[in-house]
């Protein structure tokens, strides 16, 4: 099957944090089935969605991701029994926080993709990519990185006092 | 500065067709810290692996990245090659540029750019990787089998015959389980007890088997190879070491009219009893709730007549701790009943069949007892209400099973076959009787099974009616059965003398509680979950625990025996080694920073995290910290994402590694 | 009904009709595995040419027209026995309601006119009077169905027993009933309700 | 509620039948509540609930009519007491559906041009007697126990079905009628047809259906040795009472299959057929009678199958 490739002005950068047992395997299945999806996604493999720290998502946005996908096993199917349940609770809270900070939640997607759902992986990635493409780039966090980066120097009296009090 | 080698594979044309592998290799070579990069047609081939080994030696590489297929495909291959070249295998990683890149994208430029990115990320992962050593744990070569039905018996005998010691724990006073209750078995119609009791005797006589009946699992500690299991030995009120099994206590017991559980309540037994004559062990127990001595303090007949003085009214429950390396769970099933269920129960009864109040509506197991030569009627088919021989018997399949409205949507698998068997047994015993079967589908896959069912229809003259029964009620001494034949499209009414329900197979009572003690998972019905439906059908997700028989799902005897032997084989495989090696992806605690909040302990699904005391030289408690038992840790990393002080870390997926990868985005 | 050959194809299976039935009834049709328990318990089954399970089967095959052409749906007494006992939570009573509604809308080609007529008169009575007046209902039914002598002996007896009122008054708030009928008709016209 | 302190009081939806063919149900309900000192205030200007014909062909109309009645009932204090089993079923079903289905609720709110009031508890008379007034208190209040009266309690279709809607009792094995009968001193008989359909509203369009189904019910009651049948639905009452004579004419001797086939009488051999009249009582008639209410004010004169000989025989008149 040949898919007509269209060139776009904006190619969003999508980062996917996936668990190794379900979604990574599901993405493998999409490959062995030769399904096609946008090449914008970069996959980072974790043993379990339970391992994924929300900080990783923030960092990914800072490092230029325009959209982030977190995907693991379906609830109840976790290889590690309950990791995805912890992830689900954690990210429910985290989403609310991101919303509060002002991040458009359309840039952050959570999904369950099992090892048998190659097609679903393709759908999820395609949908997220196209959605983020219409939203345009996300510069806010990138700028934030430069502003807030701490040189490591204790160059204000407040900082010095705080540092000393830790001992 | 690290010295990483990057090897980009063409995979024939699978990768190189859409990814410019030369460019990827070239770009990789320009990443700081990459000391060597190349591309090759088939990295997994012998010459490919040799190329990798040579490069490690020549360029003194301290890390290897193979950009090729999915790590699920060849990670083991390349880690072995790296190890052969003298590198720690965990410093070898794979970048998936086939399944995740070349196969799913058409645009060569974009695919190549993506492949470069993937390689860049993975180089960072290799750079921050650590040498890891496989974890070894010793193995106690003694197995525990829970449940003494045919599954547990088969597993215990197989393991014991292989030369390993086995502890077999059974909740009831005798082993034998449900198979001992059956009259004849399909599809051969051989007598169940005739093939079962010799196996029970084998268990009792086997030098490698320790048998604990009337005992339950109290507590399970430890992990694969090293379980400590506390067994509760319920007070039998009879000293097993003294009892000779003469049975005089049972004949003299004045309380004889207690419904016998073994006969489904249709025969009688005394208060001091063995469940059935061939019981193993042949040592009676006193049913304290029904014993006059225990209830009113007066009687004591059994103690007076017991020659060896084995009866002991003062006996207490005792506990032992058994060290075992593997556990086979074989707790079997119970049958669903149509009784009214307590309010809020997820399972419902059958009000339309009278909620079990009509005496001549019985279940399949009761029919087995009626048909059994050792049963309460001596093998004659006589109905419970008035002891008459029923001339019209209606069998109804799928009662409870395949009825999601009643709370059970699965098929119980054995009912089609045993109902066919029942019609045959009935026809053999009551020549002028007629059997009717209401059924939806005849599910008879299995060797000789469909032929068996057809025989029931064609030769034994059972009338099969495709349709279900809506309602049954008593009219005089008959039961009016209101059903339908969907093929003809009419309602069917039969005045039956006896109705036999093929009720659903459910897990044993307390299956969920046992699972919680063992730390294994179970489904919403309380059937135990296997690790993989296809490829790990006897393993649990919890290492070292195996499943056999109907506790995992409804099964007939041949399937149960096969699974029991398979579970035994898994135990033997485990016992073939003195030490266990396992993947070192486990969490470790940085005790310096751990504040002992134990948030990690709460989220750990494996119970791998313990509280460890840190003491100074004087022995004063300084603080408590978390400690991860590497034998138990499953390696999910949930603890690390949860830890507020970032003082627990999963080897192979450290924050440092992941952050480095994100930085390289 | 004759056993006509059933051609099955995307064209002959009217799945749109089945979807409408599912939407109106709020019950799945595909969930039925044809155990026949509904037909076994149906008090009206003997009056139907398609017993209840077969009505669902025909729906599964997209053969709505065969159901509407018959009289089975008009012989359902809405006793809910089928719904109560269905092992698969198929709400057959609601499916029957939906089928009757669709037949009604299509001005049903059904053979069963008496039941339809009775329903129509009943609803007309509500619209006109707000409440049901049984004498009027019975009389109108006999007139329109041409069974002038039906239950002839019962009428006077019931009137003498006070069971049938000769006279009745309209509700004071009768206008509100007309409003309900009108607004439902409008919603349907606009496609806002089925 | 503390007993004795606050008087039980209900709003009341009689329904069309209770103002016509089932007027004795209405009369006896009012008499009973008065005897028990329980308040009962009729909802003003209520409409027909639509009954079976409306939901049969137009669910939205049925839901709207019931929703309209429920909001009319809001104007009267107290939980809504309903005597007619069909009205009870329709009102409860409406509450259940509209609470679960937002789309339907919105459509209904357009139709009735106002919000749907779904929270007023709808209670059947039986529920009020057995649970709210209480069986113990009911037993205490009995002045003339219905000693020796063998009653076949007939639930019919709608009182308990479908299981998730009426919330009255177990949908296959209810006992609320039996409990009330025992409290009144009567003897409920065990019989097979207490929940079979009587033919319902086919009485108008296809009376043959009613004859057949009601015949089976009357038969079953006779076989069980019942003196009479107790009902809680005017339609069931109509079918079993008004058409009883016709049934006898149509079926003659009882048939042994209970399912009216034409060979029935042949199968029955020589024994004399049991053709006893089976009077049909409303639950409120029996209860009021036991409470000592004068039989003249219970509408017995409106009944076709005369219950007086039976009551006289049992010394209850």
Do the chains contact at C53 and B490, CB–CB below 8 Å? no
Domain B334-506 is of which CATH architecture? 3-Layer(bba) Sandwich (3.50)
The residue among B125, B604, B636 with the most chain A CBs within 10 A of its CB, best to mutate, is: B636
pLDDT at residue C107 tops 90: no
Task: Tell me, letter by letter, the H, E, C secondary structure of D104-149.
Answer: HHHHHHHHHCCCCCCCCCEEEHHHHHHHHHHHHHHHHHCCCCCCCC
Kindly report the number of other CB atoms within 10 A of residue B16's CB atom: 18
Domain range B142-332+540-575, CATH class? alpha beta
Cβ contact C–D (≥3 pairs, < 8 Å):
yes
B vs C: CB pairs below 8 A? 77
- pLDDT confidence of residue C191: 86
Residue A140, SS3 per DSSP: helix
In chain D the domains, ranked by start, together with CATH numbers, are: 9-123 (1.20.1050.140), 139-313 (3.40.50.11810)
Q: Give D1→chain C minimum CA distance, Å.
A: 34
**In chain A, where are the structural domains located?**
14-138
Residue B529: DSSP 8-state: P
**A36-46 mean pLDDT:** 95
Distance (Å, rounded) from C-alpha B440 to C-alpha B398? 8
Peptide bond preceding A79 in cis form (omega within 30 of 0):
no
Portion of chain B with pLDDT greater than 70, in percent:
100
Omega before residue A47 within 30° of 0, cis: no
Lowest mean pLDDT among A103-107, B298-302, C104-108: C104-108
Q: pLDDT tens digits, residue range B46-82?
A: 999 999 999 999 999 999 999 999 998 899 999 999 9
* Chain D CB contacts of C194 below 8 Å: 60
Give the residue from chain A lying closest to B117, CA to CA. Answer: A42
Q: Strand, helix or coil at A19?
A: strand
The pairing of beta strand B579-582 with beta strand B135-138: antiparallel
CA distance B374 to B78: 64
Q: What angle do CA D126, D187, D239 make, to 5 degrees?
A: 60
Q: Where are the beta strands (DSSP E) in chain A?
A: 14-19, 41-46, 67-72, 108-112
User: 10 Å Cβ neighbour count for B71?
Assistant: 21
pLDDT at A1: 43
Residue D209 at interface with chain C, using a CB cutoff of 8 Å:
yes
Question: In B, which residues are within 8 Å of C40 by CB distance?
Answer: 467-471, 482-484, 491-492
Q: Residue D265: what pLDDT?
A: 41
Q: Average of pLDDT values for B476-487?
A: 95
**Closest Cα partner for B630 from B584, B664, B598?**
B584
Contact C179 D161 (CB under 8 A): no
Question: How many of the other CB atoms lie within 10 Å of CB of B12?
Answer: 10
pTM: 0.80
pLDDT for A163 beyond 80: no
What is the least distance, in Å, from the CA of B424 to any CA of chain D? 29
Q: Which pLDDT score is estimated for B535?
A: 85
- At residue B232 the predicted structure's pLDDT band, cuts being 50, 70 and 90, is very high
D170 touches chain B (CB under 8 A): yes
Nearest CA in chain D to C166: D20
Q: Please state which of the ranges B605-619, C84-98, C113-127 shows the lowest mean pLDDT.
A: C113-127
Domain boundaries, chain B: 4-127, 142-332+540-575, 334-506, 587-663
The better pLDDT of the pair B394, D2 is held by: B394
Contacting residues of C for B398, CB less than 8 Å apart: 35, 87
In C1-30, the residues whose Cβ lies within 8 Å of chain B are: none
Q: Which residue, among D144, D86, D111, D121, has the nearest Cα to D295 in the 3D structure?
A: D144
Percent helix, percent strand, percent coil in chain C, to nearest 5: 55, 0, 45
Banded model confidence at residue D257, pLDDT cuts 50, 70, 90: very low
- Give the pLDDT of residue B217: 97
Put simply, the chain B residues between 9 and 28 with a CB less than 8 A from any chain A CB are none
Every domain of chain C and the residues it spans: 15-105, 113-189
Name the minimum distance, in Å, from the CA of B114 to any CA of chain A. 7
**Cross-chain Cβ contact C118/D201 below 8 Å:** yes
Q: How many CB atoms lie within 10 A of CB D164?
A: 12
pLDDT above 80 for B264:
yes
Instruction: State the smallest CA–CA distance between residue B504 and chain C in angstroms.
Output: 13
- Provide the 10 A C-beta neighbour count for residue B154: 26
Q: Are B135 and B316 in contact (CB under 8 A)?
A: no
Return the CATH number of the domain spanning residue range B4-127: 3.40.50
Alpha-carbon distance B468 to nearest alpha carbon in chain C (angstroms): 5
CB pairs under 8 A between B and D: 18
pLDDT tens string A66-90? 999 999 998 877 878 789 999 999 9
Residue-wise pLDDT tens digits, D138-168: 999 999 999 999 999 999 999 999 888 888 8
The number of beta carbons lying within 10 Å of the beta carbon of residue C11 is: 8
| Residue D76 in this model has a pLDDT that exceeds 90 | yes
Contact call for D223 and B475, based on CB within 8 A: yes
Whole-number pLDDT of residue C70: 87
Model confidence at B325, in pLDDT bands (50, 70, 90)?
Answer: very high
Query: Which of B34-48, B114-128, B136-150, D15-29 bottoms out in mean pLDDT, i.e. has the lowest?
Result: D15-29
- pLDDT band at residue A102 using 50, 70 and 90 as cut-offs: confident
Task: State pLDDT tens for residues D87-140.
Answer: 999 999 999 999 999 999 999 999 999 999 899 999 999 999 999 999 999 999
- pLDDT above 60 (res D267): no
- β-pairing, B361-363 vs B498-503, is parallel
**Residue of B485 and D248 predicted with greater confidence:** B485
Neighbours of chain B (3+ CB pairs under 8 A): A, C, D
How far is C-alpha B395 from the chain's CA centre? Answer: 31
D262 close contact with C: CB closer than 8 A: no
- Give the CATH number of domain B587-663; options: 2.60.60.20, 3.30.450.20, 3.40.50.2300, 3.30.70.20: 3.30.70.20
φ, ψ of residue D255 to 5 degrees: the values are -105, 150
Non-local (6+) Cβ contacts of B378 within 8 A are none
Contact B569/B633 with Cβ under 8 angstroms? no
Instruction: Name every chain C residue with its beta carbon within 8 A of the beta carbon of D59.
Output: 24, 94, 97-98, 101
Task: Give chain A's contact residues with B (Cβ, < 8 Å).
Answer: 2-3, 5, 11, 13, 15, 24-25, 27-28, 30-32, 34-37, 39, 42-48, 50-53, 56, 59-60, 63-65, 78-83, 86-87, 90, 122
**Cross-chain CB nearest to B351 (options D173, D192, D259):** D173
How many other β-carbons are positioned within 10 Å of the β-carbon of residue C168? 14
Interface list for chain B against chain D, based on CB atoms closer than 8 Å: 340, 350-352, 354-355, 473-475, 480, 493
| Among the partner residues C77, C165, C184, nearest to D197 by beta-carbon distance | C77
Helices (H), B407-448: 415-429
Q: Report chain D residues whose CB lies below 8 A from the CB of B493.
A: 257, 259
- Mention every residue, 6+ apart, whose C-beta is less than 8 A from residue B624: B596, B611, B612, B613, B614
Q: What pLDDT is recorded for position D312?
A: 93
ipTM of the complex: 0.77
Distance from the Cα of B439 to chain D's closest Cα (Å) equals: 22
What's the fold here for domain C15-105?
A: Fumarate Reductase Iron-sulfur Protein; Chain B, domain 2 (1.10.1060)
CB contact under 8 A, C134 and D51: no
Mean of the pLDDT values across residues B28-34? 95
* Among the ranges given (B198-202, B279-283, D161-165, D183-187), the one the predictor scored with the smallest mean pLDDT: D161-165
pLDDT in tens, B455-472: 999 999 999 999 999 999
Nearest CA in chain D to B475: D192
Instruction: Identify the residue with better confidence: D139 or B343.
Output: D139
Three-state secondary structure string covering B97-125: CHHHHHCCCCCHHHHHHHHHHHHHHHHHH
CATH number for the domain running over A14-138: 3.40.50
Q: Residue range C6-34: average pLDDT?
A: 92
Per the CB < 8 Å rule, is B350 touching D170? no
State pLDDT tens for residues D284-315.
Answer: 999 999 999 998 889 898 889 999 999 999 99
Chains C and A touch (3+ CB pairs under 8 A): no
Q: Is the per-residue pLDDT at A150 higher than 80?
A: no
Q: Which residue of B has its CA nearest to D172?
A: B351
- What confidence category does residue D261 fall into, taking pLDDT thresholds of 50, 70 and 90? very low
- What average pLDDT does the segment B144-152 reach? 98
Cβ contacts (< 8 Å) between B482 and chain C: which residues?
A: 40-41
CB contact at 8 A, C75 and C36: no
Q: What torsion do the CA atoms of B70, B72, B77, B78 make, to the nearest 10 degrees? A: 50
């Amino acid at each position: 099957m040949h898919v007509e490739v269209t060139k776009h002005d904006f190619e969003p950068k999508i980062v996917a944090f996936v668990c190794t047992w379900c979604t990574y395997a599901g993405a493998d299945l999409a490959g062995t089935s030769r399904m096609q999806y946008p090449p914008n996604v970069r996959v980072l493999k974790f043993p379990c969605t339970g391992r994924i720290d929300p900080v990783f998502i923030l960092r990914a946005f800072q490092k230029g991701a325009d959209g982030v996908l977190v995907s693991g096993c379906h609830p109840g199917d976790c290889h590690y029994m309950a990791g995805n349940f912890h992830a689900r609770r954690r990210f429910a809270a985290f989403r609310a926080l991101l919303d509060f900070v002002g991040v458009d939640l359309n840039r952050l997607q959570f999904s369950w993709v099992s090892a048998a759902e190659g097609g679903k992986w393709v759908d999820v990635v395609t949908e997220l990519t196209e959605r983020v493409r219409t939203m345009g780039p996300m510069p806010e966090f990138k700028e934030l990185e430069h502003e807030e980066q701490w040189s490591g120097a204790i160059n204000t009296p407040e900082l010095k006092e705080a540092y000393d009090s830790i001992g | 500065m690290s010295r990483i080698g990057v090897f980009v594979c063409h995979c024939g044309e699978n990768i190189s067709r859409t990814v410019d592998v030369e460019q990827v290799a070239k770009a990789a070579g320009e990443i700081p810290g990459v000391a060597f990069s190349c591309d090759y047609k088939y990295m997994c081939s012998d010459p490919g692996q040799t190329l990798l080994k040579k490069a490690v030696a020549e360029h003194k590489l301290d890390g290897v990245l193979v950009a090729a297929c999915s790590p699920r495909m060849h990670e083991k291959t390349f880690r072995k090659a790296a190890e052969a070249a003298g590198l720690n295998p965990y410093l070898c990683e794979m970048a998936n540029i086939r399944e995740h890149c070349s196969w799913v994208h058409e645009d060569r430029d974009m695919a190549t750019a993506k492949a470069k990115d993937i390689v860049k990320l993975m180089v960072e992962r290799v750079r921050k990787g650590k040498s890891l050593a496989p974890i070894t744990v010793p193995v106690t070569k003694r197995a525990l089998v829970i449940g003494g039905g045919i599954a547990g018996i088969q597993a215990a005998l197989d393991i014991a015959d292989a030369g390993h010691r086995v502890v077999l724990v059974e909740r009831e006073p005798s082993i034998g389980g449900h198979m001992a209750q059956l009259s004849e078995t399909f599809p051969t119609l051989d007598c169940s007890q005739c093939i079962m009791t010799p196996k029970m005797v084998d268990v009792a006589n086997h030098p490698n088997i320790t048998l604990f009946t009337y005992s339950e699992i109290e507590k399970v500690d430890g992990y694969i190879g090293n379980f400590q299991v506390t067994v509760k030995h319920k007070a039998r009120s009879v000293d097993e070491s003294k009892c000779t099994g003469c049975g005089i206590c049972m004949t003299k017991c004045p309380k004889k009219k207690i419904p016998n559980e073994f006969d489904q309540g249709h025969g009688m037994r005394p208060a001091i009893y063995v469940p059935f004559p061939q019981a193993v062990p042949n040592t009676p127990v006193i049913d304290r709730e029904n014993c006059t001595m225990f209830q009113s303090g007066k009687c004591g007949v059994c103690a007076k007549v017991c020659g060896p003085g084995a009866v002991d009214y003062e006996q207490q429950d005792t506990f032992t701790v058994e060290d075992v390396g593997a556990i086979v769970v074989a707790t079997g099933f119970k049958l669903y009943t149509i009784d009214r269920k307590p309010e809020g129960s997820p399972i419902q009864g059958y009000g339309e069949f009278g909620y079990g109040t009509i005496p001549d509506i019985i279940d399949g197991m009761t029919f087995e007892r009626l048909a059994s030569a050792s049963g309460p009627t001596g093998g004659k088919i006589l109905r419970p209400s008035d002891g008459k021989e029923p001339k019209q018997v209606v069998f109804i399949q799928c009662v409870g099973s395949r009825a999601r409205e009643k709370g059970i949507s699965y098929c119980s698998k054995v009912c089609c076959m045993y109902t066919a068997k029942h019609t045959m047994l009935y026809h053999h015993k009551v020549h002028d009787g007629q059997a009717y079967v209401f059924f939806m589908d005849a599910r008879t896959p299995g060797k000789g099974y469909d032929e068996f069912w057809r025989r029931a229809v064609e030769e034994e003259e059972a009338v099969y009616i495709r349709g279900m029964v809506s309602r049954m009620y008593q009219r005089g001494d008959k039961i009016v059965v209101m059903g339908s034949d969907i093929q003809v499209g009419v309602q069917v009414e039969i005045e039956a003398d006896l109705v036999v329900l093929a009720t659903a197979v459910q897990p044993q009572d307390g299956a969920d509680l046992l699972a919680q003690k063992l730390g294994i998972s179970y489904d919403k019905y309380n059937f135990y979950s296997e690790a993989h439906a296809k490829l790990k059908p006897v393993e649990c997700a919890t290492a070292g625990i195996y499943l056999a028989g109907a506790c995992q799902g409804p099964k007939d005897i041949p399937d149960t025996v096969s699974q029991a032997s398979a579970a035994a084989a898994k135990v033997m495989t485990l016992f073939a080694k003195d030490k266990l090696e396992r993947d070192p992806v486990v969490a470790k605690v940085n005790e310096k920073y751990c504040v002992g909040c134990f948030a990690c302990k709460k989220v750990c699904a494996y119970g791998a995290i313990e509280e460890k005391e840190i003491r100074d030289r004087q022995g004063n408690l300084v603080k408590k910290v978390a400690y991860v038992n590497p034998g138990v840790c499953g390696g999910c990393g949930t603890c690390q994402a949860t830890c507020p002080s970032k003082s627990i870390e999963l080897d192979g997926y450290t924050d440092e590694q992941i952050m480095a990868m994100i930085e390289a985005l | 009904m004759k056993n006509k050959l059933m051609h099955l194809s995307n064209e002959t299976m009217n799945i749109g009709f089945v979807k409408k039935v599912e939407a109106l009834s709020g019950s799945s049709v595909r969930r039925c595995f044809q155990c026949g328990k509904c037909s076994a318990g149906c008090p009206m089954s003997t009056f139907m040419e398609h017993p209840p399970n077969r009505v669902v089967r025909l729906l599964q095959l997209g053969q709505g027209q065969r159901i509407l052409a018959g009289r089975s749906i008009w012989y359902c007494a809405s006793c809910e026995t089928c719904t109560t006992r269905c092992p698969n939570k198929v709400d057959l009573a609601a499916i029957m309601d939906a089928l009757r509604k669709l037949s009604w809308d299509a001005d049903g080609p059904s053979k069963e006119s008496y039941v339809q007529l009775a329903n129509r008169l009943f609803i007309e009575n509500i619209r006109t009077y707000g409440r049901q007046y049984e004498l009027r209902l019975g009389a109108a039914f006999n007139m329109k169905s041409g069974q002038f002598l039906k239950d002839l002996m019962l009428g006077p007896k019931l009137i003498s027993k006070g069971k049938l009122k000769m006279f009745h008054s309209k509700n004071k708030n009768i206008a509100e009933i007309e409003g309900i009928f009108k607004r439902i008709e409008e919603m349907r016209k606009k496609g806002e309700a089925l | 509620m503390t007993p004795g302190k606050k008087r039980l009081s209900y709003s009341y939806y009689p329904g069309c039948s209770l103002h016509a063919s089932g007027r004795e149900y209405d009369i006896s309900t009012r008499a009973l509540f008065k005897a028990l000192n329980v308040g009962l205030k009729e909802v003003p200007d209520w409409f027909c609930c639509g009954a079976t014909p409306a939901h049969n062909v137009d669910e939205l109309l049925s839901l709207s009519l019931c929703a309209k009645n429920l909001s009319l009932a809001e104007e009267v204090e107290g939980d809504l007491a309903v005597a007619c089993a069909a009205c009870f079923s329709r009102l409860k079903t409406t509450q259940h559906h509209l609470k679960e289905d937002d789309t339907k609720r919105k459509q209904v709110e357009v139709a009735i041009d106002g919000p749907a009031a779904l929270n007023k508890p709808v209670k059947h008379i039986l529920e009020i007697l057995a649970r709210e007034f209480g069986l113990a208190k009911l037993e205490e209040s009995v002045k003339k126990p219905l000693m020796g009266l063998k009653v076949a309690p007939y639930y019919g279709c709608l009182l308990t079905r479908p299981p998730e809607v009426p919330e009255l009792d177990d949908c296959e094995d209810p006992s609320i009628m039996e409990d009330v009968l025992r409290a009144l001193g009567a003897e409920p008989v065990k019989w097979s047809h207490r929940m079979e359909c009587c033919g319902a509203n086919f009485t108008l369009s296809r009376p043959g259906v009613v004859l057949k189904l009601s015949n089976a019910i009357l038969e079953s009651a006779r076989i069980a040795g019942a003196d009479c049948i107790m009902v809680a639905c005017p339609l069931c009452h109509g079918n079993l009472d008004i058409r009883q004579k016709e049934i006898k004419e149509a079926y003659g001797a009882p048939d042994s299959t209970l399912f009216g086939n034409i060979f029935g009488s042949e199968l029955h051999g020589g024994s004399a057929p049991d053709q006893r009249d089976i009077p049909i009582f409303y639950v409120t008639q029996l209860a009021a009678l036991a409470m000592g209410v004068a039989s003249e004010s219970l509408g017995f004169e409106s009944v076709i199958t005369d219950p007086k000989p039976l009551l006289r025989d049992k010394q209850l008149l």
